[in-house]
Structure formats: structure tokens, C-alpha cells
Amino acid sequence: MQNKKRSVFYMARRHAVLALVMFAAAFFMVPFHALTVFDTVRGAIRAADADSAANPYWTRNITAMVSNIVEAGFNQEILTFGFAGLGFFSAVILFKHLFSRKQALMIASLPLRRQTDFLERVAVYFLTGLLPAALGLLLYPLIALAGGLAPYMTGKIAVQILMLLMIHLYGFTLGAFCASITGQVWACAAGALFLGGGFEFAANCWQRVAWHYLYTMPVEVVMPIIRRWSPAFSLYKALRQPELFSPLAGIVCTAVFVVLAYLAYTRRAAEGAEHPIAIKALEMPLSVIVSLFAGSITGYIFMTFFGKEAALLIAAAGGAVVGWIMVQLAFTLDFRQAFRRLPAGFACGVLLLICVFGFRFDIFGYERYAPDPQKLTAVTVQSGNVMGGNENYTLKQPDTKAAACTLAGMLRDAATGRRVYHDPVYPEMNLTFTSGHGEVRRAYAGGASSAEMHGMTAWQAAVNTLLNSDEYRQGRIQTGCLDEYLAALDTDAAGNIYIYGWEQIYGSGGNGWESYKTASGRQNDAFNYRNTDQIRKVIESLKAAIQRRTLSSLQQDPVFVIHISGRINNVYKDSSFAVYPDDYELLRALGGEELIEMAGLLSGGFAEVTDCAVYRVSFDASVTDLIEGKICSPQKWMRASTKDEAKEWIRASIKTNDADIYYYPAVGNEEIWIFDLNDQSEQIPGNLDPDTDLVQLVMEQQELWYWPAKRFVSKAR
Amino acid sequence: MIKAESITKCFGRKVALDRVSLTLDDGHIFGLVGTNGAGKSTFLRVLTGILKADSGNAFLNGQGVYENPSAKQQICYVSDEPAFVTGATLSDMDHFQAAYYAAHDSARLRELCEFFSLPMNERISSFSKGTQKRAQIVLALSRHPRLLLCDETFDGLDPVMRESFKRVLGEVMLDEQMTTILAGHSLQEMENICDSVGFLHEGKLLTSGDMDHILSRFCKVQVVLENGEPNALLNGLTVISDRRQGRLSILTVRADEAEVQERLKAASPQYLEAIPLSLEEVFILEMEEQGYAK
């Protein structure tokens, strides 16, 4: 026993330099970097102390800065990669004898069981790798304490230090495992890169390939799984927000790596050193994995670059075969051996082709999925432009579930294989069907325009069923956490809840928020309400607006979006709501009469106060054709006879993302054309007769264009 | 006692050792002679417990060697490719061995270093190849091993150091009843100091036994007969070579010297003399019989 202890301490002494490097690296990345940040923080504290009317958010901001290592130290990516890299480096140093035949034989001759040797090296890692890093990190709270920042320190510092050490340990175990199955350092590093993120990367590539073929596949199928289950990603996320993300996958993976490293170390042959793969039995499975990986990556890259199916097929199959040859070359370091077992390489290529064709011909019936609403326990909807802007809600009643399934089915049937996101002309729906067998997610986007869908009776009926249901309205309130915010206001300070304005992501909304900011002289996006009552009033008005909105009011262009965020029961909540021109009470609560006036002006009121001509132009094509720029001619045009009518027309229209074109959704093949009659810089003649038919003029001259509404807004102000 | 029981070891498709068995008593010194790539180093590494045999086992005093720390404490392997802790001096190696070997004797190490003129505080990697061999030997002997395995140890030493090593080895063996296996190609040294010897070829132990026994497997005689052919007299024995210089026949025969002399004497030779064979000659003859070299 005494001898064992001596060997551990001997090894620890020999790796004193490693300990020094670990300490210095940890110190440099966090406490040293924090010195400059703390200096700024102290300056801010002095400024806040001097200003009696200082923003009440100061304390929280400073606490967030001091108590968050990711803010005070290097950024999250550098810290994650840095500490994982340090752990991996420790493993390479402590297991470096596995990369040299002479050293491996010398160590194998020592009077130690492999198990003991492995455990001793892990013990030395704790002494010379993890402990010095921990000591380096512990200087952070000491420096903060010495700098008088104790009031701003929370337990999050300790959790984040533990997370960094966990990442270090993860890197070490990954390195130990890779070193134990390889005999050359480059192979060890390649293995670590592959195990660290290769599967996630390949899964993402396949998600892209699948998404290319499967119209109803959500944009992100793999990422949520990766966020939840990827070991590296879980540690990365848990480092910044340990209160929200669990590092469990990373911890489990670390334990698995330790066990695998132990098994590999105790079973590998001493003569495996200097061979890329030390355990012969792993050659074949690794060849297959690397070959499939190479084919997946090259297929995805070629598909992305060339956008052609042929490129995907050729690159996937070719990449697999080339990958196979490369890996044989790497394993044997002999050109003559590069083509060994080549049929297996071809088999990998064929396997990838089968996968691609599986998606191409939907052999699993992914697209045909149509659940029976009665068998579903719930349908969770994330919709865009079905009723209004972006909405989230969950449905459990038979009629609402059936309505959601009807909408999804109609969108799927209208699918053209083209996806359009975040455009008010096109409805989009992401549905999560929950049944006793789990959850199934599907996405439907951009098949047909809203106008066309709204022209269908079944669609209208389903939309109205949803809109008029309590589930929908309560769901909007619930998913938006509005009641939680209100409850928090009863118990906590108003400072915990923030309200920001932002542009509406669907359509342009005429740059509503920017216009409002400019007009009201705001410098930033925060409303900066100083008391609970103001925030309560906004949230209650929002609740009332949600209850009151009709389909026609939701089909207007929103003025802007408000974000509400806050920390409730120590959990960060964030929700967004579009604000519509008809939400008078909400607009009043947010910005008073000035904002109501501004919203009215933005949403068509400019037609009342400026000298403009507004036309409804009908085409011989559908709105989808118009959006796609197909050649079509105006069939009929009608000029607004009064300013009030002009305002109403504009207000009832929506604007596409891609062009400054206003559509009149109730009809489906009409555009709204707006001409600024006083704009001398443009191509409209200055002495134009007010009664001139501008559409006719456009048709004749083929030069004139219509103008986006935002110009009028700025003029009006 | 060291015992190897039908040890087989393969590297990929290559059979490095093919059912090799050997038994040595304590205090014995054994010479393992073999052609290049015969499997000598592999055999020693299996005996040391560095490599795991695919089948068969190696035992030291009845204990299996592989993954057995107490057996390994008593075994020392002096590799043909000297390996030390990276960047270490002999002083560092002293600490290294002290950490791992219970029987390590620092005083003896210093004593041997002085005897072999080795600096304790210079990096071993800066030593010449021969000096590194010496360093390996002193480190090995300072551990008081029960079994010393030397792989081509003589090959890197100059004649003076060879003699010194032989002398020290002899003293240690006498004092400590250490068993030694010397593998290599310095057959003259082996013949001088080994009690027994074995020939390894293509993974197989062709023969092994006492030195005298091995040397007596062949005999070489010069004979002049008045009448008749010497070959005819040796009918039934394997005559490996028959050179003639006038009436003088120089015969190499796979047989006991006494039997050959007896048969030749029956023809009343004018001249008959047995010429002693060296280990090297016996080894070459053995290999020639195996078709290794002609």
C-alpha cells in the first residue's frame, strides 16, 4: 500500500509542470480576466451611489455581472472549449506512454495491475489537473471579495466553478478513453473531436437532408434532442445557466467515458502503441462509423453548395468510399493497404444512398401522418399568420383539436414543396400532437397564401372555432405567462419584469417600433416602467386585448411587438405579443394617447393626413402568383374616393416581407398601391392632375412604381 | 523457478511464438539464441508479463506473471531498446524505481553507477547507446531481481564493459541465486557464461538444454583412412558436411562424438582427431538444417 502511495506521489511530482499550467490557464481565463471587469463594475457602483435616482435595475445588473463567471471571465465558448481542452491535454500528458512503444512496454513491465495503473493516473489527474484548476478558479471569489463585491455575489459562482471543473473532467475522460483505444496522438485528438461533437454534427447534416425532402418536417428536429441529450451541449448550456439547464447528459457521459477508458486501458495490448487503433477489434466498427460520417458530411456540403439532388447522392456515396479508403490508410499507414476491404466501403456508400432515397420517397410515411383528433390528448400549436402574428397555445377540447388537425391537413394538402417562413402572406403552423404514445411534431409552412386559405370555407370555420374558444384565448394568456407575471407583481418588485418594444417580425409593419421610438424620443427599446401599477396595467390590458380580438382585427398588420420578460420563482420567462392597431387600451397603457395616434397613423392613418392616392388593384392571378413575381396584368383598379376609405383599405391590408407590396387579404388577388402625390423627387410628374388615373399611368409609362407606406409615416411626423 | 508453458503469441497473422515451453531452476543462466525475428524479444516480454500470451502461461515460482505485481516485483527486463522516463537522469530513475519497486536499493544503484562510470545527474537521453545500456543494467541490478531478462545486452557494450558486466552478473548470481536469461547474438559470451541454451527459430524453440548437451549434438572430426570411404562407415548417421583436402576428410555429423569416433576407429584410420565445435558453429549448423541459411 505504501508503495502505491509512493507511485502516485512520484507521478504527481513528475507532473508538477502540468499542475502549474492548469492553475495558470484557469487563473488567466477567469479571475485574471475578471480583474478588468471588476474595475468597470466598481466604477458603475460608484456612479450609481452618486446618483440618487439611479436605475433600480443597477443592483441586479451588477449582481448578474459579478455572479456570472461567463460574464466576468472569458466568454462561454472559450471557457467551454478551454476547460474541455485543458482536461483533454491532461489526459494526453498522463497517458502519453500509450503513444510510444518503448514507453508503453516500460510501463507495462511495472509491478502494477492495469487497473491500479489506470486508477493511479486518474488520481494524479485529480492532483495535477483538476485541483490546480480548481485553485485557480477559487481565486475568482477571493478577488471579488477583496474588491468589496461581496453584496453582489451569489451561489451561482460556486455552481459555475463546479460546472467548469465538470467540463475539465469531461475533457479528461474523453481524452483518457481516446488515448486508451488509440496509439497515436493525432488519432486520439481526432477521436476526441469526433466523440465531442461529431455525432451531433452528423445528426444535424441528416436533419438538413431529411428536411430537404420532407415538407412537414419541422426546421429543428435534431437540435432540441441535442440540446437535451448531447453531453457536450448540456455542459455548455449548464455553464451559463445552471438554473435552467441540467448537465446530467454530460455527467452521465463523463461516467461512461471513465468506464470505457478503464475497460480499454485494462484490455488493450501493450504492443498497441504507435498503431492508430490500439484495439484491433475496433478497426471495423470505426471504419464503418467514419465512412458513414464522411459520406454524411460531404453529402450535406455538396447539397448545400450545389442545391442539387445529384450532388447529394454522388457526394454521399463518394464521400463514404473515400472516407473508407482514408481511414484504412490512417489505420495502416500503408498506401498498399488503403483499398483493403473496399466492398465494405461501397456498402457504406450504398447504405447512405438508401437513407437518402428513404427520405426522397418517404418510405416511412412521415408525410402521410394524419392523427385522429379523438385519440390525441393535446395539440400544441405554434402558428404564424393563421389568425394573426406568432402565437402559441395548447388545445385539449375535441372541437379545437379537430380544428387544429383540419388546418394542418389543409396546409399539408396545399403544400407545394416550397417553404416560406415569417411572411404574413403565408400561414405557418408547427404542431405537436400528444397522445398516449408520446409526442409527434410536424410543421406546415408556405404551401398557399393566407388569402387563398381564408377563401376556403373549411379553413374559415376551423380558424373561427379556434379563435372563439376559451382554450385559445386562455392558452395565449397562459403560454405568455401573463398570469404568472401578474402574480409576481403582487409579491415581488416591479423591477423583476421588463417590457420591451420591437419590430414585428411578420411583415414590415412599416417599421412601427422605430417610428414610435423616433417620434417619442426614446433612446432604447425598454419601456422602463418604474412602478408595479404601470406594468400591471399593461399586462391586464394585454389580457383584455387577447380576449377581445376578432379575426379581422388579427389580420391587420401589427404595429409592433412587445416582449415581456422576468424572473419568476428564479426561472427566467420570456414572451412576445403582437400589438394591433385596434388594441386601443393596450396601446394607451403602453404609451398613452400618443401611441394610439401613432398606431393609427402607421396602420393607414397617414392616408388621411398626407396627399396620397390609394388604389385597390385586381389581378388575373392569385396572390401567391403575385408574390412569386409571375407576369400578370391588373384587371381592375379602384381609387379610394375618400381619405377615410383610403385609410381603411390600407389598414385592412398586410405587407409582405420580401417586397414593399400591400395585399388585401380578404380578396386574395388584390394589391394596394399607394402614390405620394407630393413627392417631386420621384417619377410622378409634379403638375399631375389629381384626377389622373395613376394605375393607367403606370401601365402606359411602365416606369412608375408604388411607394411603401413608411415614407408617408416619416413625412407625416 | 521460471516456467513457460506452451506459449503462443501472434501479432496479426504473424505467429511470433508457437507453443514455446521452457523450465529454468533458480540461479540458472540461460542463453536464448535465435535468428532475426525468431521471437526472442517477444518471448522475454511474455516472460516479463509485458505481453499477454494468446495461449499458454509464464510462471515465476508457481505464480502467473501477467498482471501479477508480486511476480513482476521480482522480474527485471533489460530491453534491447532502452526505455527510461522521459527526460530523466539516473537520479530521477532512482526515485522512479523506489516508487514502484519494493526491493530497489538506492545505495547499490550509486555503487554500480560508480563502478560503471555513469553520471547520476545527467539526462540519460544524452548518453550514447552503449552508456544507456549500462544505465539499464545498473538500474536492473539495483532492484535485486529474482529473474533478470537481458535482450541483446552484450551487443551494445564495448569489450571492457562486457567483461565488467559478466563479472558483476556472476557475483550477483552467486550472492542472490538470481536466474538470468540472456537473449542475443553474442554467442561467444553466452557459451562462456550460460549453463544452458536454447535455439529459437520462427517462433519455435528448436532445442534447449545444458550447454554441453547442445554442443554434443554435432561432432566434427578429421580423418585419414587407408582404405574406404568415411561416409560408408557412418552409414545411418546424418553427415552434414564432408570436405576433402587430399586424403584428409573433415566431417560434420549430427551424432555423439564417441559414436562417430568408434565407427571410424573400426577402420583403423591413419589419423583421427575430433575438433570441438563452438556454440556459434552448432547454431549455424542447426539453422542450416532448418533451411535458414546455406
Nearest CA in chain A to B149: A109
Query: Do B87 and B179 share a domain, yes or no?
Result: yes
Residues of A in contact with B71 (CB under 8 A): 111
In chain A, the residue whose alpha carbon lies closest to the alpha carbon of B95 is A10
The angle formed by the CA atoms of residues A22, A25 and A26, to the nearest 5 degrees, is 85
How buried is residue B131: exposed, middle or buried, by Cβ count under 10 Å (0-12/13-18/19+)? Answer: buried
CB B187 within 8 A of CB B277: no
Chain B contact set for A109 (CB, 8 A)? 48-50, 72, 75, 77
Q: Is A127 helix (H, G, I), strand (E, B) or coil?
A: helix
Q: What phi and psi, each to the nearest 5 degrees, are found at residue B86?
A: -55, 125
Look at residue A716 in the predicted model and tell me its pLDDT. 42
Q: Is B70 on the interface with A (CB under 8 A)?
A: yes
8 A C-beta contact, residue A320 and residue A328: no
Whether the predicted pLDDT of A296 surpasses 70: yes
Contacting residues for A345 by C-beta, under 8 A, at least 6 apart: A287, A291, A320, A321, A323, A324, A325, A328
Chain B positions touching A116 (Cβ under 8 A) are 69
Mean pLDDT computed over A407-430: 81
Top-confidence range, A65-74, A108-117, A514-523: A108-117
A105 lies within 8 A of chain B by CB: yes
Q: Do A102 and B95 touch (CB under 8 A)?
A: no
pLDDT-based confidence at A711, cuts 50/70/90?
Answer: very low
* B146 CB within 8 Å of a chain A CB: no
Average model confidence (pLDDT) for chain B? 88
Q: In A480-621, where does DSSP find H-type helix? A: 482-491, 512-520, 532-548, 551-554, 584-600, 606-609
More confident site: A659 or B282: B282
Last residue of a domain, one of B168, B192, B213: B213
For residues A639 and A706, is the Cβ–Cβ distance under 8 A? no
What are the DSSP E strand ranges found in A423-518? 428-435, 438-445, 497-502
Chain B contact present for A9, CB below 8 A: yes
The answer to whether residue B291 sits within a structural domain is no
Amino acid (one-letter) located at A12? A
- Give the integer Cα–Cα distance in Å for A248 and A254: 10
Q: CA end-to-end span of chain B, whole Å?
A: 38
Inter-chain CB pairs, A–B, below 8 Å: 64
Q: How far is A103 from chain B (nearest CA, A)?
A: 6
Chain B closest-CA separation from residue A432 CA (Å): 54
| Distant-in-sequence, close-in-space partners of A456: CB < 8 Å, separation ≥ 6 | A410
Task: Pull the grid cell for residue A258.
Answer: 471513465
Is residue A80 helix, strand or coil? Answer: helix
C-alpha torsion sign, points A66, A69, A70, A73: positive
Who has greater pLDDT, A212 or A707?
A: A212
CB contact under 8 Å between A110 and B77, yes or no, is no
Quick one: pLDDT at residue A82? 95
Percent of chain A with pLDDT over 70: 87
B257 pLDDT exceeds 90? Answer: no
Tell me the three cell numbers of residue A63. 449582481
**Chain A closest-CA separation from residue B88 CA (Å):** 10
Q: For B199-223, how does the pLDDT look when each residue is reduced to its tens digit (9 = 90+)?
A: 999 999 988 888 888 888 888 888 8
Q: With a cut of 60, say whether residue A618 has pLDDT above it.
A: yes
Read off the pLDDT band of A603 (50, 70, 90).
confident
> Do B49 and B78 reside in the same domain of the chain?
yes
The reply to whether B171 falls in a domain is yes
| Among the partner residues A3, A11, A270, nearest to B50 by beta-carbon distance | A270
Q: What is the CATH number of the domain that holds B263?
A: 3.30.70
Using pLDDT thresholds of 50, 70 and 90, give the confidence band for residue A75: confident
CA distances from A552 to A33, A470, A544, A588 (A): 55, 18, 17, 21
Residues B32 and B172 in one domain: yes
Residue A108: which of B12, B50, B99 has the nearest Cβ? B50
pLDDT at B228: 73
To the nearest whole Å, the CA of A27 is away from the closest chain B CA by: 28
Q: Are both B154 and B268 inside the same structural domain?
A: no
**Minimum CA–CA partner of B12 in chain A:** A280
Question: What backbone torsions phi and psi does residue B237 show, to the nearest 5 degrees?
Answer: -105, 155
**A7: which chain B residues are within 8 Å (Cβ-Cβ)?**
99-100
pLDDT at A717: 37
Residue of A413, A425, A418 whose CA lies nearest to A384: A425
Q: Is the pLDDT of residue A409 over 60?
A: yes
* Each residue's pLDDT tens digit, B15-40: 999 999 999 988 889 999 988 888 99
- Chain A: residue whose CA lies nearest to B51: A270
Chain A CB contacts of B52 under 8 Å are: 269-270
For residue B154, give the CATH number of its domain.
3.40.50.300
Contact criterion met (CB < 8 Å) for B100 and A270: no
- Report yes or no: A116 at the B interface, CB cutoff 8 Å: yes
Contacting A residues, span 240-269, partner chain B, CB-CB under 8 Å: 269
Residue A123 touches partner B, C-beta closer than 8 Å: no
Are B84 and A106 an interchain contact pair (Cβ–Cβ within 8 Å)?
yes
pLDDT at A656: 63
Average pLDDT in chain A: 84
In a domain, B121, yes or no: yes
Q: Do B72 and A110 touch (CB under 8 A)?
A: yes
Q: What is the 3-state secondary structure (H, E, C) of chain B?
A: CEEEEEEEEEECCEEEEEEEEEEECCCCEEEEEECCCCCHHHHHHHHHCCCCCCEEEEEECCEECCCCHHHHCCEEEECCCCCCCCCCEHHHHHHHHHHHCCCCCHHHHHHHHHHCCCCCCCEHHHCCHHHHHHHHHHHHHCCCCCEEEEECCHHHCCHHHHHHHHHHHHHHHHHHCCEEEEEECCHHHHHHHCCEEEEEECCEEEEEEEHHHHHCCCEEEEEECCCCCHHHHCCCCEEEEEEEECCEEEEEEECCHHHHHHHHHCCCCCEEEEECCCHHHHHHHHHHHCCCCC
Report yes or no: B79 at the A interface, CB cutoff 8 Å. yes
Q: What is the ipTM of this complex?
A: 0.89
Nearest CB to A111 within list B69, B83, B85: B69
Say how far apart CA A145 and CA A153 lie, in whole Å.
8
CA A629 to chain centre: 31
B115 touches chain A (CB under 8 A): no
User: Cell numbers at residue A196, please?
Assistant: 465531442
Q: How large is the greatest C-alpha to C-alpha distance in chain B, in angstroms?
A: 74
Q: Which residues of B touch A103 (CB under 8 A)?
A: 83, 86
Q: Give per-residue pLDDT as tens, B150-204.
A: 998 877 788 888 888 888 888 888 888 899 999 988 888 888 889 899 999 999 9
Chain A CA closest to residue B69: A111
Residue B260 counted as domain residue: yes
* Alpha-carbon A569 to chain mean position: 24
Cβ atoms of residues A565 and A628 within 8 Å: no
Predicted confidence band of residue A175 (pLDDT cuts 50, 70, 90): very high
Is B68 domain-assigned?
Answer: yes
| Dist CA B207 CA B189 (whole Å) | 19
Residue from B50, B131, B39 nearest A106 by CA: B50
Of B11, B82, B100, the CB nearest to A110: B100
Q: How many CB atoms lie within 10 A of CB A562?
A: 22
Mean pLDDT of A105-120: 93
Answer yes or no: do B252 and B236 share one domain: yes
pLDDT band at A7 (very low <50, low <70, confident <90, very high): confident
What integer pLDDT is reported at residue A701 of this predicted model?
60
Q: Are residues B158 and B233 in the same domain?
A: no
Higher pLDDT, A517 or B119: B119
User: Looking at the partner chain, which of A6, A116, A270 has a beta carbon nearest the beta carbon of B99?
Assistant: A6
Residues of chain A found within 8 Å of residue B101, distances taken between Cβ atoms: 111
Calculate mean pLDDT across residues A199-208. Answer: 90
User: Above 50 in pLDDT, residue A715?
Assistant: no
- What residues of chain A lie within 8 A of the CB of B82, using their CB? 102
Q: Residue A416's pLDDT is what?
A: 72
* Cβ-based contacts of B95 with chain A (< 8 Å): 10
pLDDT at A713 over 50: no
Residue type, A201: F
Q: At what angle do helices B106-115 and B159-176 cross, to 10 degrees?
A: 150
Q: In angstroms, rounded to a whole number, what is the distance separating the alpha carbons of residues A329 and A348?
A: 17
Query: Nearest-CA neighbor of B68 among B58, B78, B77?
Result: B58
Which residues of chain B lie closer than 8 angstroms to A6, CB-CB?
98-100
Tell me if chain B has a CB within 8 Å of the CB of A636: no
Q: Are B27 and B173 in contact (CB under 8 A)?
A: yes
B102/A contact by beta carbon, under 8 A: yes
More confident residue, A594 or B122: B122
> Are B196 and B253 found together in one domain?
no
Q: Taking CB atoms and an 8 Å limit, are B79 and A106 in contact across chains?
A: yes
Same domain, B157 and B226: no
Helix ranges restricted to H, A15-155: 16-27, 33-50, 58-66, 69-72, 76-94, 101-108, 114-125, 131-146
Residues of B in contact with A17 (CB under 8 A): none
Residue B144 resides in a domain: yes
Cβ-Cβ contacts under 8 Å, B45 against chain A: 105, 270
Longest dimension (CA), chain A: 106
- Chain A residues with CB under 8 Å of B67 CB are 113-114
Same domain, yes or no: B181 and B230:
no
Q: Do residues B203 and B77 both lie within one domain? A: yes
Report, as an integer, the average pLDDT of A652-676: 70
pLDDT over 60 (residue B45): yes
Ranges of H-type helices in A333-365? 342-360
List the single residue in A with minimal CA-CA distance to B88: A14
Helix (H, G, I), strand (E, B) or coil at A685: coil
> Can you tell me the mean pLDDT for A173-198?
94
**Are residues B95 and B226 both part of a single domain?**
no
Which residues are CB-contacts of B259 (< 8 A; sequence separation ≥ 6)? B237
Secondary structure letter of residue A689 according to DSSP: -
Enumerate the residues of chain B whose CB falls inside 8 A of the CB of residue A280.
12
Q: What is the mean pLDDT of residues A395-418?
A: 88
How far B81 CA sits from the closest chain A CA (Å)?
Answer: 7
Q: Is the pLDDT of residue A353 over 80?
A: yes
| Window 11-70 of A, Cβ < 8 Å to B | 11, 14
DSSP, collapsed to helix, strand or coil, labels residue A94 as helix
Residue A370 has pLDDT above 60, yes or no: yes
Residues B240 and B167 in one domain: no
pLDDT at A683 over 60: no
- Confirm whether B287 is domain-assigned: no
Arithmetic mean of pLDDT, B37-50: 92
Which residue has 425532402 as its cell numbers?
A213
Domain containing B187 equals 2-213
Q: Do B79 and A271 touch (CB under 8 A)?
A: no
Domain tally, chain B: 2
Which of residues A328 and A418 earns the better pLDDT score?
Answer: A328
CB contact under 8 A, A6 and B98: yes
Write out chain B residues lying below 8 Å of A105, CB-based: 45, 50, 79, 83
Closest CB from A7, A103, A111 relative to B83: A103
Q: How many CB atoms lie within 10 A of CB A3?
A: 17
CB A633, CB A620: distance < 8 Å:
yes
Highest mean pLDDT among A131-140, A228-237, A638-647, B128-137: A131-140
Percent of chain A at pLDDT above 90? Answer: 40
Is 90 exceeded by the pLDDT of residue A66?
A: no
Contact: A111, B83; criterion CB under 8 Å = no
Closest CA to A694 of A710, A661, A709, A672: A672
CB contact under 8 A, A7 and B100: yes
pLDDT at A25 over 80: yes
CA distance A275 to A283: 11
C-alpha cell at B39: 521471437
pLDDT exceeds cutoff 80 at A334: yes
Distance CA A686, CA B156 (A): 105
Is B286 inside a domain boundary? no
